[in-house]
Amino acid sequence: MITGGKIVSVEAKRFSPETTKGLKINISIDDVKTEGNNLTLSYTYTVTYEEAVGELVVKGELYAVEDNAAEIEKEWKGNKKTLPEAFANVVLNTINYTASVNGTFVVRPVNLPSPMLPPRFTISKKEKK
C-alpha cells in the first residue's frame, strides 16, 4: 500500500521554439530499499517532447508498506530489476499521476504542453509464440 512520497527535483528545458509533435513518457525505478515492511522506491519520470523540443525530468521517492517488502527488494536487487506485477501497477500509476500533475506547473514557464491526461498502466506478461 502506498503511504506517501516526495519529489526530490524537477527540471524543465525548452530546446526549440518549434511546436511539439507529441510526447513520450518514461518512468524508471532507480532503487528500492526496505526497512522492515517499509519500502522506499526512488524514481525518475521523464517526458520528452518530440521533435527535440523540450524535456521534463522529475525525480522522487515513493513510500509503501508491504508484508512482502523484503521479497520485493530482493527481486529488485536481483539481475532482473523488476517489481511484482500487481505492486508495479500501483507504483507506476502513482508515479505517473504525481509527476504529471506537478510537472504541469513546471513546464508552463518554458511554454511546453502539460504532460497531463495520464494513462492507466497495466503490466502484462508477454505471450510466448
Query: What percent of the chain has pLDDT above 70?
Result: 94
Tell me the mean pLDDT in the region 81-110. Answer: 91
Mean pLDDT, rounded, of the chain: 90
Q: Within a 10 A sphere around the Cβ of 119, how many other Cβ atoms?
A: 9
Mean pLDDT of 17-44: 94
- In the predicted model, what is the mean pLDDT of residues 100-111? 93
What per-residue confidence (pLDDT) applies to 117? 59
Give the pLDDT confidence score for residue 91 in this predicted structure.
94
**Cell, residue 73:** 527488494
Q: What share of the chain is helix, strand, coil (3-state, %, to 5)?
A: 25, 40, 35
The model carries a pTM of 0.85
Under the banding of pLDDT at 50, 70 and 90, the label for residue 78 is confident
Q: At residue 118, does pLDDT exceed 60? A: no
Spatial separation of the C-alpha atoms in residues 121 and 88, rounded to whole Å: 9
Does pLDDT of 79 surpass 80? Answer: no
Three-state secondary-structure class, residue 62: strand
Q: What percent of the chain has pLDDT over 90?
A: 71
119 vs 101, more confident: 101
**21's grid cell:** 509533435
- At position 82, the amino acid (one-letter code) is T
Partners of 31 in the β-ladder: 42
Residue 80 has pLDDT above 80, yes or no: no
- The residues, ordered by sequence, that sit 6+ positions from 93 with a Cβ below 8 Å of its Cβ are 118, 120, 121
